[in-house]
Chains A and B, each alone.
Chain A
Amino acid sequence: DAEITQSPRHKITETGRQVTLACHQTWNHNNMFWYRQDLGHGLRLIHYSYGVQDTNKGEVSDGYSVSRSNTEDLPLTLESAASSQTSVYFCASSEQDSDTQYFGPGTRLTVL
């Protein structure tokens, strides 16, 4: 069955380190998204991509970057992790022009 996976599921890192969170989908969806979820804020969009080589900033993009070298993967990089980036990160994908997004299981990141 097609799916969307994230790795690692849990990560503890130190302030200042570079961290990359992986997202892989097998639906062949054009659109991929990264969100962070914090208590009281719902899901906030970090970056998104509408196809290979396309990346765009979302609402809370500072300190994060993404790259899209193929259809299946959209890795999220924290260039220099900060304690404020402690959060649960969700990746999602959708078909082109679709309103329905399919979410991965999430990555819980703790920055000490």
Chain B
Amino acid sequence: GQQVMQIPQYQHVQEGEDFTTYCNSSTTLSNIQWYKQRPGGHPVFLIQLVKSGEVKKQKRLTFQFGEAKKNSSLHITATQTTDVGTYFCGAAGNKLTFGGGTRVLVKP
């Protein structure tokens, strides 16, 4: 089945700085979804990418799907304390499986 790997596993970010988390697959993905899970909460859908090379933005979040549809990235600019949580990428296509997640901690 489709498996995705995420790096880094942990990300300590100074408030106001930018960071990027990456999602990689050994196989071509039909599409990829990103979710955010706040501490103690449940995963909440952020966005889905379908097309090769697709780029989507949500305020300070920029999501990108690689040209080969084997990798994706989430870039957050000007990190805020509200960005704390774990970000998961998910390989969709009937079976929705997730990478290990990137746990983001923000230093004020």
Pairing of A with B: no
